[in-house]
């Protein structure tokens, strides 16, 4: 009778796991660690990270980003961030306030809050972004074709590899309100943002909505 055992193949961990380091750095019984039998803190070590990156990791979890408009209104820094965003939208003529025409519907919008960090973990600025609820748009009515002109990850890796080989310097640039420079051809109406108040001398019409003139975050056209 021949050998019935299946041949064994040498197994290796996936290459992407080589970036992770696990070590049992805590010797206390697992029962004392938040009541879980397999606490992540028992295996996570920051020994392999640089001091600067450790500071960055600790900084980004030190402050919580608000998840709702009501929560953001409790802090002045987020109120200021929303005012900056609204000023940018008004100065770039992103919309015009008008009455909602009969037979038309307005899509919703929401505020999204994000803390922008520097490379050393310090806070650069508090960013409030007004996002349209583009998932409620109807194809053929609110939009026709959609495009997504973004860079492929392979292209980014190629540039980084060339920079490392030729000792090039790399500079990161943030274009403020980059999405607000695309003109819209479709007729799209959006509800007034939460917290929007008329400017001095501005009178809101009946059933006020924002008719979008330029592209906004969250739209199918964006």
Residue 128: strand pairing partners? 113
Chain segment 180-208, per-residue pLDDT in tens: 666 777 788 899 998 888 877 778 888 89
pLDDT score for 31? 44
Q: What's the distance, Cα to Cα, between the start and end of the chain in Å?
A: 68
Q: Measured between alpha carbons, how far is 97 from 120 in angstroms, rounded to an integer?
A: 42
Tens digits of per-residue pLDDT, 7-31? 677 777 677 666 555 544 444 444 4
Distance, in Å, from the CA atom of 81 to the CA atom of 125, rounded to the nearest integer, reads: 9
Mean pLDDT of 94-106: 88
3-state secondary structure of 165: helix
Whole-model pTM over 0.85: no
DSSP label at residue 5: S
């Amino acid at each position: 009778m021949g050998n019935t055992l299946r041949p064994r193949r040498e197994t290796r961990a996936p290459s992407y796991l080589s970036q992770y380091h696990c070590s049992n750095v805590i010797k206390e019984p697992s029962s004392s660690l938040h009541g879980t039998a397999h606490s992540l803190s028992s295996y996570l070590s920051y020994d392999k990270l640089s001091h600067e990156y450790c500071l960055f990791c600790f900084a980004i979890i030190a402050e919580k980003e608000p998840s709702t408009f009501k929560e953001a209104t409790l802090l002045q820094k987020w109120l200021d961030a929303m005012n900056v965003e609204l000023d940018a939208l008004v100065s770039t003529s992103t919309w015009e306030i008008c009455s909602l025409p009969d037979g038309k519907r307005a899509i919703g919008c929401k505020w999204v809050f994000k803390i922008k960090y520097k490379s050393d973990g310090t806070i650069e600025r508090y960013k409030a972004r007004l996002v349209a609820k583009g998932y409620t748009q109807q194809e053929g009515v609110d939009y026709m074709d959609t495009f997504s002109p973004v860079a492929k990850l392979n292209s980014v890796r190629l540039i980084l590899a060339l920079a490392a080989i030729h000792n090039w310097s790399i500079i990161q640039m943030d274009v403020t309100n980059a999405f607000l420079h695309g003109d819209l051809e479709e007729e799209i109406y959006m509800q007034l943002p939460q917290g929007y108040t008329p400017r001095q001398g501005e009178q809101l019409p009946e059933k006020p909505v924002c008719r979008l003139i330029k592209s906004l975050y969250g739209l199918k056209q964006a």
